[in-house]
Amino acid sequence: MTKESAAQPRVIYDRPKALLPLRMHYCPGCTHGLVHRLVAEVMDELELAERTVGIAPVGCAVFAYNYFDCDMIEAAHGRAPAVATGVKRVRPDLFVFTYQGDGDLASIGIAETIHAAARGEKISIIFINNAVYGMTGGQMAPTTLPGQKTTTTPYGRDPESDGNPLRVCELLSVLQGPAYIARVSVTNPRMVRQAKRSIRRAFQAQLDGLGFALVEVLSTCPTRWGMPPVEALTWLEENMVPYYPLKEFVVADALREKK
């Protein structure tokens, strides 16, 4: 090894340009930061940052507007798809994505989600499903699993009284508007690479004017699940994946042809 190459090491892994060098507020072991990074990497690869408007939710990702180096809007709880619709309809040249959690998207904002999907609104949604309300202290989410303990289901979610979890991808897949619907997870490097491929397809669907796109990312919440990060990854694989199967539910033909 020469002196020169030691002084100038080859960079094989760096912070994406679209992600600002800030300390994030997320808990240790939370996968939000990882998904932020994937979104930013795809923004870089598609050179989108300068024409992007991102919409942040209410929930743990409420401060997402701080982290992405692009124009950002903070929306009311559940309303991000409506806000995104407003932006995209008046500025179709912009790339518009929302980043939402399960309470935001699947509970209080399910109407906005379904109708944006049904309209085939040309927006891309990153949907973080960690089966719990993180920000407010660990309450039941619309995606909390049967039997799962939360602060509002202290004896475990009982579908008889607490209702059943919502499978968002399956729900949206029967509509005509979506061009891309997929569920991924980020529990190991292979899954992370698959998640990034799906995010890229979801962004491409919008860029090609094909329609609505949503990527559901099964995510961990070690803090509210009450377990160490590695155990949380295992819990996700063993409990969430059987209930929320990982697959591409909708892929528009035009998107499939694109490698």
- Does the protein bind other proteins through residue 17 (CB under 8 A)? no
Rounded to whole angstroms, the Cα distance separating 109 from 154 reads 25
**Strand 247-251 versus strand 178-185 pairing type:** antiparallel
**By C-beta, is 94 or 227 nearer to other proteins?**
94
**By C-beta, is 102 or 112 nearer to other proteins?**
112
Residue 152: alpha-carbon gap to chain centroid: 24
Q: Three-state SS for 40?
A: helix
> Could you say which residues in the range 186-205 bind other proteins, by CB under 8 A?
none
- Does the protein bind other proteins through residue 26 (CB under 8 A)? no
**By C-beta, is 84 or 205 nearer to other proteins?**
84
Q: What residues are paired with 212 via a beta bridge?
A: 178
Tokens (6 digits) for 87: 């932006």
CB of 258 to other proteins, least distance (A): 24
CB of 176 to other proteins, least distance (A): 15
2-10, 64-72, 189-197, 230-238 -> range binding other proteins (CB under 8 A): 64-72
Given 61, 70, 126, 218, the residue binding other proteins (CB under 8 A): 70
Given 35, 39, 61, 87, the residue binding other proteins (CB under 8 A): 87
**By C-beta, is 123 or 236 nearer to other proteins?**
123
3-state DSSP helix/strand/coil % of the chain, to nearest 5: 45, 20, 40
- Does the protein bind other proteins through residue 43 (CB under 8 A)? no
Q: What secondary structure does DSSP assign to 32-83, as a single string?
A: HHHHHHHHHHHHHHTT-GGGEEEEE-SSGGGGHHHHBSSEEEEPPTT-HHHH
- Report which DSSP code applies to 165: P
Q: Give the angle 131-136-142 at the CA atoms, nearest 5°.
A: 30
Tokens (6 digits) for 98: 């929302």
Q: Are the beta carbons of 47 and 79 closer than 8 angstroms?
A: no
CB of 60 to other proteins, least distance (A): 13
Match 């997929």 to its residue by tokens. 182
**By C-beta, is 62 or 254 nearer to other proteins?**
62
Sign of CA dihedral 11, 17, 18, 20: positive
Q: Are the beta carbons of 211 and 179 closer than 8 angstroms?
A: yes
CB of 53 to other proteins, least distance (A): 5
CB of 7 to other proteins, least distance (A): 33
**By C-beta, is 52 or 219 nearer to other proteins?**
52
- Does the protein bind other proteins through residue 83 (CB under 8 A)? yes
> Could you say which residues in the range 110-129 bind other proteins, by CB under 8 A?
111-112, 115
Binding site for other proteins (CB under 8 A): 49-53, 55, 62, 65, 69-76, 79, 82-91, 93-94, 111-112, 115
